[in-house]
Chain A
Amino acid sequence: MIRFEKVFLAYGDRTVLRDVTLQVPPGGRVALMGPSGCGKTSLLQLAAGLKKPTSGQVISHARRPAYAFQEPRLLPRLTVAQNVNAVLSDGPATMEKAMAALEAVGLREAADRLPHQLSGGMAQRVNLARALAYEGDLLLLDEPLKELDEARQDDILSLLRDHTAGRTLLVTTHDPHVARVLAERVFLWRDGTFVRTK
């Protein structure tokens, strides 16, 4: 479970989040929608514990958050397989698990490549594979279909829907279709804050 209570977040003079109150129950699936720069990513960062609110409270019961960042953040000198494995045991014991996650996103053949040898879409799929392999109790997906070509989007969306079943999920997206498939509740950015849609 994760709850945001009257959360404000400001970077210097710029207030990014204003009086946000929302809750994701255990196993709940919530999508955040809104224009670029409205604070969707900041909310995920607060949920992950990577940022602290300027005021208000973020109460999280998640012990192992997994986060697919908006930009892939791959370790530049590790292979694709090692990048996924790095968040597991980082040793040979979990390599099969890492490979299975890569298989799921259609990248088993690219396991030995380095990040600079990947296209934007492939790097994004490694990013998703890493978050899925981690098996966190809270899954944070920031624009999960960004950079993916259209032919691949449906496959990845189905994969995300299946893999995230029963897990607490917070996803940001611009695409109402993604929100509909992955989430059971959608919060829209309106008048400076996030409000639940009917």
Chain B
Amino acid sequence: MDRWKTAWKGMLILAFWLGVWALLARLVDRELLLPGPWLVLERLLRLMGTGDFWRVTAASLTRIVCGTLAAILAGVLLAAATCQSRFLQAALSPVLTAVRSVPVASFILLALIWVGRDVLPGVIVFLMVLPIVWQNVATGIRQTDPSLLELAQLYRFSRWRTMRRVYIPEVAPYFLAACRTSFGVAWKSGVAAEVLTVPQRSIGRRLFESKLYLETADLFAWTVVVVLCSLAIEKLLTTAVNRARRRYTRGGDKP
């Protein structure tokens, strides 16, 4: 019942904002400045009917997902390593600070010198997501209840058992929060990198061209694609992580 209520509420809110958009478009009354939601939907459906749309979306999706997954893996490993060793913590924390504070545009322009334009958005995504995961997971590890670690030490849990029974359940909420933030940041920075470097098959290139040829409705339609992809990936990842967490913590040895 609650699920239906939430769904209805969500649909009402969506309808409200679509109404506001339609009203504004009506007031402005110039497609070039602000196309209405129906026009954008029509463009989106037309784009979806072409093979090129799916190839372009798949290419951007691959770049962004690969960059994000690589950053998540590296972030978890770096967090574990820096929580284990004070030396590594001291040595690597300036890197974390630097990556966090350098503007994304600087990274894009610098990376353009070092790597090809097809790979660059993935690299940018990696650099943007890495500190988020690293910092969140490291916080989770440090916040792990020391009394539970003492319990694991006393009862001689193996490393694997300590990880499975103590660390993973304690760190999972931090990891999940990091993943949620990461995919939002990944799409923003990845598409921004694509707009600046215009790889042949990319959503960024289509956005850039739409702006160049003043196809504002197309610009909106591609933006909707980015938002939908980001939401779909976030939902998939959240479900997968929750399932894995349940399996790790409650599965296997039920009486």
Chain A residues at the B interface, C-beta cutoff of 8 Å: 48-50, 65-67, 69, 71, 73, 75-79, 81-82, 85-87, 90-92, 95, 98-99, 111-112, 134
Q: B213 interface residue, CB < 8 Å from A?
A: no
Residue pairs across A and B with Cβ atoms less than 8 A apart, 13 shown, are A48-B154, A50-B150, A73-B147, A75-B148, A75-B166, A78-B249, A79-B250, A79-B254, A86-B157, A90-B165, A95-B255, A111-B255, A134-B155
Query: What size tier do the contact residues of chain B reach?
Result: 10 to 19
**Cβ contacts under 8 Å, A81 to chain B:** 254-255
B250 adjacent to A82 (CB under 8 Å): yes
Q: Which residue of A lies closest to B147 (CB)?
A: A73
B253 adjacent to A77 (CB under 8 Å): no
Q: B37 interface residue, CB < 8 Å from A?
A: no
Within 8 A of A (CB), among B145-160: 147-148, 150-151, 153-155, 157
CA distance A108 to B223 in the complex (A): 56
A86 adjacent to B165 (CB under 8 Å): yes
Q: B161 interface residue, CB < 8 Å from A?
A: yes
**Cβ contacts under 8 Å, A82 to chain B:** 250, 253-254
B255 adjacent to A98 (CB under 8 Å): yes
**Cβ contacts under 8 Å, B161 to chain A:** 86, 90
CA distance A87 to B169 in the complex (A): 17
**Cβ contacts under 8 Å, A92 to chain B:** 252-253
What is the CB-to-nearest-CB distance from B161 to chain A, in angstroms, rounded to a whole number? Answer: 6
What is the CB-to-nearest-CB distance from A134 to chain B, in angstroms, rounded to a whole number? Answer: 7
CA distance A50 to B155 in the complex (A): 11
Contact of B153 among A50, A75, A90 (CB under 8 A): A50
A78 adjacent to B148 (CB under 8 Å): no
B250 adjacent to A85 (CB under 8 Å): no
CA distance A78 to B254 in the complex (A): 10
What is the CB-to-nearest-CB distance from B172 to chain A, in angstroms, rounded to a whole number? Answer: 9
| A78-B165 contact in complex given A50-B154, A69-B151, C-beta closer than 8 Å | yes
**Cβ contacts under 8 Å, A49 to chain B:** 154
Within 8 A of A (CB), among B110-168: 147-148, 150-151, 153-155, 157, 161, 165-166
**Cβ contacts under 8 Å, B151 to chain A:** 69, 73, 75
CA distance A90 to B255 in the complex (A): 12
**Cβ contacts under 8 Å, B250 to chain A:** 77-79, 82
